[in-house]
Chains A and B, each alone.
Chain A
Amino acid sequence: MSLLKVKNLKKSYVTKNLFFGAKKEEPVLKGISFELEENQILGVVGESGCGKSTLAKVLTRLEEASGGEIIFNGKDLRSFSSKEFPHQIQMVFQDPFQSLNPRKKAWEIIADPILVTENISTSEAKQRALAMMQKVGLLTETSERYPHQFSGGQRQRLGIARALMLRPKLLILDEPVSALDVSIQAQVLNLLLDLQKEFHLSMIFISHDLSVVKHISDKTLVLYFGEIVEMGPSTQIFSEPQHQYTQKLLESAP
């Protein structure tokens, strides 16, 4: 059984004309359908404005879908209570500089999800946060530091640790390595692949960078103006792209 089943998902934003008050519907996702198996990594590629990030927002329930169905683990995504949901899907954001609270220490950032959702003592939460820090390759000596004392790559590790604290089944990563230097990018990609095995994670990996998606994903989905133009195993998409747009993307990649 597939972990995530998306059927004919639609999302449109309504814009209002400032002077005449006329409402206009701006479709961003125009009915997309795909499935994701357990332990699979799905890469989502496309250019800016194609709906990649909107897809992530809808799947994490930050935005409500305008139409279609999302079945997660056999249940409608909306039917999860706000207590259950964080244990199902978590997200890692693009900019490691803006997605961490600058006033909290590293261990506090990581321990926050369990402090909010579980009835445990602070010291226990800290212990678990420290264990997670080790798993993502951060030194536990750095647990008392604030985000600005970490480098970009370390901050992204913090973001990943925070997302994994609730043991989600699905991790959504929106451009997780595009703000990082090349040598650090490789470290984070390796970490993600290790963690996927250890935690039996499924991932949706959103990126505009074809080479990164090719490296990490089992299955790739190409979005173009809110529609899926091509989907299939990554090996196939990257060696024999069928759709014109995918071919153009690949040709443009250095």
Chain B
Amino acid sequence: MRLPLHLNNKLLEIEKLSVQFKTDSGAIEALRPISFTVLEGEILGVVGESGSGKSVTNLALMGLLPANAQITAQKVVFNKNPLNLNSQKDLRAIRGSQIAMIFQDPMTALNPSLTVGYQMIETLRCHFDISKKVAEHRSLALLKRVGISNPEARLKSYPFELSGGMSQRVMIAMAISCHPKLLIADEPTTALDVTIQKQILDLLLDLQKENKMSMIFVSHDLALIKKYAHRVQVMYAGEIVEGGNTEEVIKTPRHPYTFGLLKARPSAHEGKMKEPLYAIPGVVPSLRERPSGCQFHPRCFRATELCKKQAPLLTTAARNFACHHPLEIL
């Protein structure tokens, strides 16, 4: 997907954000200083495997990390205002109303002992000074907008009465209820079936265009990112290793990790059957025992002595990568 050209105002600007978790056995560096921006009206895809720091970044932005997390950032600017990620007061002012989030597992994100209507009305009344009646009205309209049939009845339902797809629709309805400028979708469809996955993502895309929202779309599936994101950012072991226009990154990956991710995934539409897949050897490093130098070097087919000693820096162009021996553009 190409980004509309007129959209290039920065909505979110982050410089050198890092997160450490303090534990009894020492500090764990979950996020090494990373910098990135989200433009107005764009969908930024974030790819990475478990432990790569995707979720930690998002939770830090929402102020939802556990108490043992230490967040440091050189600069965070949201909607032209500086934002202190360590101040719950700052965050409360924007959470929900400016930045909203959809979680991976819709079944556990909703409160099981309250009706859908109660939870939606509560959210709305928390952010707007409106009566219960008005809030109920808005909730109905929102449920209709996200494609839930018979919304009157659904308002009275408890989460267990809804299917996974429907619960996710309810979550989306709640997330957009305050017209946030930025919507964070953290693996929004991983728990859902493929046909439902497509419906939900198409809905998100529609809403994103309609409300001119920006979106951070986290997924481990590059095929989904390719379809739905304007720009993509690849993360590995708490670092950004590659970024740029989705089309370019997928067509000509420069970092061996991105290359591996692209090759490792079989496709339902093309490719030969039964041929051995390209597999990245080894496993994602434990954050307690990080390798020296480039975090990817123990698994990399292009690694040299230099990679063991020195961590490569992320290049500064819009199309960036962090590798001493990037793949050539063919």
Residue numbers of A with Cβ under 8 A of B are 47-48, 151, 153-154, 181-187, 189-190, 193, 208-212, 214-216, 234-235, 238, 248-254
- Interfacial chain A residues near B50, Cβ < 8 Å: 181
- Asked if A215 and B266 make an inter-chain contact with CB atoms under 8 angstroms apart, the answer reads yes
- Asked if A187 and B279 make an inter-chain contact with CB atoms under 8 angstroms apart, the answer reads yes
**Distance (Å) between the CB of B252 and the closest chain A CB?**
19
Q: Within the complex, which residue of B221, B273, B280 is in contact with A186, where a contact is CB–CB below 8 Å?
A: B280
Q: Within the complex, which residue of A190, A248, A250 is in contact with B279, where a contact is CB–CB below 8 Å?
A: A190
Bound-complex Cα distance A238 to B280 (A): 26
- Asked if A183 and B261 make an inter-chain contact with CB atoms under 8 angstroms apart, the answer reads yes
- Asked if A215 and B271 make an inter-chain contact with CB atoms under 8 angstroms apart, the answer reads yes
Interface segment, one of B15-23, B36-44, B67-75, B189-197: B189-197
B277 proximal to A (CB < 8 A): yes
Place the interface of chain B in its size category: 35 or more
B324 proximal to A (CB < 8 A): no
- Interfacial chain A residues near B283, Cβ < 8 Å: 151, 153-154, 184
B327 proximal to A (CB < 8 A): no
- Interfacial chain A residues near B268, Cβ < 8 Å: 210-211, 214, 238, 250, 253
B220 proximal to A (CB < 8 A): yes
Decide: A186 near B226, CB < 8 A? Known: A212-B266, A248-B195, A252-B195: no
**Distance (Å) between the CB of B224 and the closest chain A CB?**
5
Nearest first, the 7 closest Cβ-Cβ pairs linking A and B are A215-B266, A254-B223, A186-B264, A183-B280, A181-B49, A47-B193, A186-B279
Residue numbers of B with Cβ under 8 A of A are 49-50, 164, 193-198, 220-224, 226-227, 260-261, 263-269, 271, 273-274, 276-281, 283-284
| Closest B residue to A152 using CB positions | B50
| Closest A residue to B219 using CB positions | A254
- Interfacial chain B residues near A210, Cβ < 8 Å: 194, 268
Bound-complex Cα distance A186 to B260 (A): 10
**Distance (Å) between the CB of A30 and the closest chain B CB?**
20
- Asked if B198 and A193 make an inter-chain contact with CB atoms under 8 angstroms apart, the answer reads no
**Distance (Å) between the CB of A63 and the closest chain B CB?**
23
**Distance (Å) between the CB of A37 and the closest chain B CB?**
15
| Closest B residue to A253 using CB positions | B268
Bound-complex Cα distance A14 to B278 (A): 46
- Interfacial chain A residues near B222, Cβ < 8 Å: 182
- Asked if B220 and A181 make an inter-chain contact with CB atoms under 8 angstroms apart, the answer reads yes
| Closest B residue to A183 using CB positions | B280
| Closest A residue to B275 using CB positions | A215
Bound-complex Cα distance A48 to B269 (A): 22
**Distance (Å) between the CB of A53 and the closest chain B CB?**
14
